[in-house]
Amino acid sequence: MIRINLLPIGRRPVEEKIRKEITVFFLLIFFSVSVMVYFHIDHTRTIKQITAEKKTVDKEIRRYQDRQRQLKELQEKHKILEQKLGVIEQLRKNRDLQVRVLDQLAIIVPTDQLWIKTLTQKGNTLTLTGVARGNEVIAQFMEALAKSPYIDANGVVLKQSRQVKIQGYKLKNFNLSAKVIIPAPAKEAPPKKGGKQKAKSSSGGAA
C-alpha cells in the first residue's frame, strides 16, 4: 500500500519534535519511578535489617538484665550468708569467752572468804552478787578480777557493799559489775641476737 503524506513540509519537524519530547518525558517518568522503586526496596531492606538487629540487641539486653538481676540476687544472698556467719562466729566467741571467764572466776575466787550468789551477763557486762568476810576481801577480789585478761581493768565497779549478819557472823553483802573483753592476741617475741653471737663465740672458743 502506498502512503502519501499530505501534510505540509514545514509541519513535519514539529510533530517529530513533539514525539521526541513525549518519548523523553515518558522515559524520565520511567527512570524516576525505577529510581524510586529501587530506593524504596533498598530502604525496606535496610529497615528490615535494622529491625532484626534491634530485636537481637533487645534480646541481648534482656538476657544481660536477667543475668544482672541474678547476680544482684546472688550478691544479696552472699551478704546475708556473711552476716549469718558473722553472728555465728560472734556467738561462738562469746560462748568460749563465757567459759574462760568462768574458769578465771573459779581460780581467783577465795572460796573460804568470798562466796558468789548470782552471776549474770548481759552483753559484755558481767554482774556479780555475793557475800564476803569483809571489805578487804572484796577489794582483793576486785584487784584479782581486774588483772584477768578477759576483764577490762577499768571496768570493775563496786555498786553496793553493806553489812549483813548470817548465822551470827558479820559479813559483807556486795554487788559489783565488770566489763568482759576479748584479750588481744599475744605477740611473738623477736629472736634474741645475743644468743647467736654467744653461740658463735662459744664455737670459736672451742676451735
Chain segment 83-121, per-residue pLDDT in tens = 877 777 766 666 667 778 888 888 888 888 899 899 888
DSSP assignment, residue 10? G
Residue in 185, 183, 180 with CA at minimum distance from that of residue 155: 180
How far is it, in rounded angstroms, from Cα 137 to Cα 123? 27
Domain boundaries, the chain: 12-108, 111-179
pLDDT score, position 131: 92
pLDDT digit string (tens) for 31-40? Answer: 888 888 888 8
What is the DSSP secondary structure assignment for residue 180, as one 8-state letter? B
pTM for this predicted structure: 0.47
H or E element: which one contains 40?
helix 12-108
Is 111-179 assigned to CATH 3.30.1360? yes
Residues of the chain with pLDDT below 50 are 195-207
Amino acid at 86: G
Determine the pLDDT at residue 176. Answer: 92
